[in-house]
Amino acid sequence: MKIIQNIKKDVSSLGYKPTIVYAEGWNKTIQEAATQVKNENLVDVVVIFRTQEELNGFNNTANVKTIVIENSDLSQYANLLFDLRKEKGLSYEDAVKLSKEPNYLACLMVKSNENWGAICGIEYTTKDTLRAALQVIKAKKGSIVNSIMILEREDKSIFASDIGLVINPSAEELSKIVYNCVDFIVNTLKIVNNNVAMLSYSTNGSGAGESVDKVKQAFELYKTLPQNPHANVYGEIQFDAAVDSKIRSKKSPDCTWSGDANVFVFPNLDAGNISYKILQRYAGFEPTGPIIIGLDKPVNDLSRGAGLFEVVSLSYVTALQTKN
């Protein structure tokens, strides 16, 4: 798992020790992951529990820092949430209630501290995880918030987006998704020589329809954004042409990639989500993510089917995102 190994090396070289807060401490996989990450000693961890009874069920052999909501004074977080949301109509009473919800509390802790990131979603839905993140952390100025997945097996590492958030992006949104992906892969992960495929059921005008038009327009809009020399973006292109140079030379001779695509941007969430799960279940790829990009501070969303590897890997990605 080359990318994840490199991410761990980069985390060890940050010059500070990031802190990851896990929102769902009652989940056994989260407990195992927090213990493993704490023992590896590259990252500090905090695990949130709702009740003392939940904490009592945690075999805390690594002396992980914990917070129990029912036993804690969370007034500083209620005050922060009220200040952030009062102009949107949030009452102080509701701020108190929300600050006691683990998904909100994790985001409020990240908002309050430098070099912190949060992980949620193994119990919460993506909608609930993202709502808290957008209300507390908020998007970077001018950015769209989307998700990206790292998919690795022994012989290959690829990226897929959007696989979790933006249901049916407009052409402008799709261009910004591509931009976010390039920024994350090149500037956060330090991976160069990327070929980015803006996928469609058409290659270079071979098909027609609204979806094809959207991808074409998104590609043109992307060209107007600041370009990164370490990413070669092409669209619209079918998957077979993106991964097979012989097919690509026939269907899109103007594509000048050296090598095949390693980044796949899908035209909608149906295509992206279905495809990454097929790759995971049938093609042996280990997923890390969904990684949320475009937020002002890192909050990441686990699949509710996530295993130990996915949680640990996402922990280190989140730690690395604290540098931005």
Residues 186-203 as b/e (b if ≥16 CB within 10 A, e otherwise) read bebbebeebbbbbbbbbb
pLDDT at 99 over 80: yes
Q: Which residue has the higher pLDDT, 204 or 319?
A: 319
Q: How many Å apart are CA 293 and CA 166, to the nearest integer?
A: 12
pLDDT at 291 over 60: yes
Report the percent of the chain where pLDDT is more than 90.
94
Q: How many Å apart are CA 319 and CA 212, to the nearest integer?
A: 37
- Which pLDDT score is estimated for 199? 98
Q: Which amino acid is at 51?
A: T
- Which pLDDT score is estimated for 253? 92
Cα 35 to Cα 44, 108, 162, 200, 307: the distances in Å are 10, 23, 30, 42, 14
Summarize pLDDT for 189-205 with one digit per residue, the tens.
999 999 999 999 999 88
Q: What is the residue-averaged pLDDT of the chain?
A: 96
- Which pLDDT score is estimated for 16? 96
pLDDT at 314 over 80: yes
Summarize pLDDT for 127-150 with one digit per residue, the tens.
999 999 999 999 998 899 999 999
Q: Give the H/E segment covering residue 155.
A: none
What residue has token string 């591509």? 178
pLDDT band at 2; cut points 50, 70, 90: confident
pLDDT band at 1; cut points 50, 70, 90: low
What CATH class is the domain 3-138+295-322?
alpha beta
- Which pLDDT score is estimated for 305? 87
Q: Map residue 120 onto helix, strand or coil.
A: strand
Helices 2-12 and 308-321, interaxial angle, to 10°?
A: 40
pLDDT band at 84; cut points 50, 70, 90: very high
pLDDT at 289 over 90: no
Domain boundaries in the chain?
A: 3-138+295-322, 146-283
Same-fold call for 3-138+295-322 versus 146-283: yes
Q: Which residue has the higher pLDDT, 21 or 256?
A: 21
- Which pLDDT score is estimated for 205? 82
pLDDT at 312 over 90: yes
- Which pLDDT score is estimated for 207? 87
Q: How many Å apart are CA 13 and CA 8, to the nearest integer?
A: 9
Q: Which CATH number is associated with domain 146-283? A: 3.40.50.10750
- Which pLDDT score is estimated for 67? 98
- The whole-number average pLDDT for the span 91-98 is 98
| Single pTM value for the model | 0.93
Residue 153 main-chain phi, psi, to 5 deg:
-140, 180
Which strands form 44-49's sheet, in the order they lie side by side?
A: 65-68, 44-49, 19-22, 116-120, 299-301
